[in-house]
Amino acid sequence: MFSSKFNKSRAFPVANESFPDADIKFCRENNFVHLSAKISALVPVKNSYSLTLSVTPCGDFASFKSLRSGNPILTRNTNITIGMLQIDYSNGSFVPRAEKDSSFLFDEGDFNLYPLDKYDTGVVPVMGIYSNELDNNNSYPVPLALTIQGSIQGFRTAMVMIDDVSNSFDPSTRSYINTLDGTILAFRMVFTRAWTTLFFSALVMIITWTLPLMVFILSVTLLARGRAVEPPTIMFFVNLLFTLPVIRRAQPSIPKDPGCLSDVVSYFWAITLQTLSAILMLTNYIHKYRKPNVGVAPTAAERRDNKNINAILVAGDDAFDNNAMDQSDAQVADGGGDGGE
């Protein structure tokens, strides 16, 4: 969580300090508006993110009775701006405790660079202006306290709160500092893929490369050695073409349609290798295919071979029958001899 705290001595927020609970005493003694923002969603395909916002007026910006009841009522016409979003409250209006979801566009981000895509909000200004009816409705800056918290699954979030009064470029945060004597806050958020997402994406890319590469080596080996292949083997090579898209989608939060950086590195090459392997197997099958000799008269040599084989089989059967008869006669003779004794 990153926050900025209203500082009574300087009368404008100070960055990187924890904001205390908005209890009645603190809120009554300090004139400021607390703006709380929670990161609720990140939509890479739309290059946008959502913040859930809630506003709590304190001090002279809200009536004391309304603060005690927990339903603050503004006592001044107030306008709060967050980037391109403007929130207007009129004098005497009730500030709902219900949080409001608002969408913002990233200043920089490209979903096609998955998994190395990065999304930068740029410097988002946060400012407030109120008008005092007792002073001819002149406009004055609203002291703000800004709190940003939350995280997005699968992303790492780097947040920087900016409220320095100098007008310079900060090399440590790589952000431009605001001017206007501290009446403008600003924040910058950068979202990158989490290490777990990067690891599993790399693992899937390695698998996507390894399977087609091994199958391609196998197909080249079979073709080079002249080994004939059968249709079931060819179907294995073809089916793997339909398996690769399923393996690709195992990467966390990958774009639905192929074309991102991950696809250029692994998927497209894997599809190419697997297609070549299937073509090689089909070529091998067509080249080695021989039509079976069904209904064709045998040649003279085949008839001679068949005759020899039949003669051998007949001779073998006769020898077997003679041997069986001899064994039977021997058993009868032995039985007769035993009976005579």
Say if residue 3's pLDDT is above 50: no
- d(C-alpha 188, C-alpha 49), whole Å: 13
List the single range of 13-17, 26-30, 189-193 with lowest mean pLDDT.
13-17
pTM of the complete model beyond 0.75 = no
54 near 180, Cβ under 8 Å? no
Residue 121 structure tokens: 């909000």
pLDDT, tens digit (0-9, with 9 covering 90-100), for 166-216: 344 444 444 333 333 445 678 888 999 999 999 999 999 999 999 999 999
User: Within 10 A of 145 (CB to CB), how many other CB atoms are there?
Assistant: 25
**pLDDT at residue 95, as a whole number:** 72
85 near 75, Cβ under 8 Å? no
Query: What is the mean pLDDT of the segment spanning 237-254?
Result: 90
Query: For a pLDDT cut of 70, what percent of the chain falls above it?
Result: 64
**pLDDT at residue 292, as a whole number:** 59
Query: For a pLDDT cut of 90, what percent of the chain falls above it?
Result: 24
**pLDDT at residue 19, as a whole number:** 38
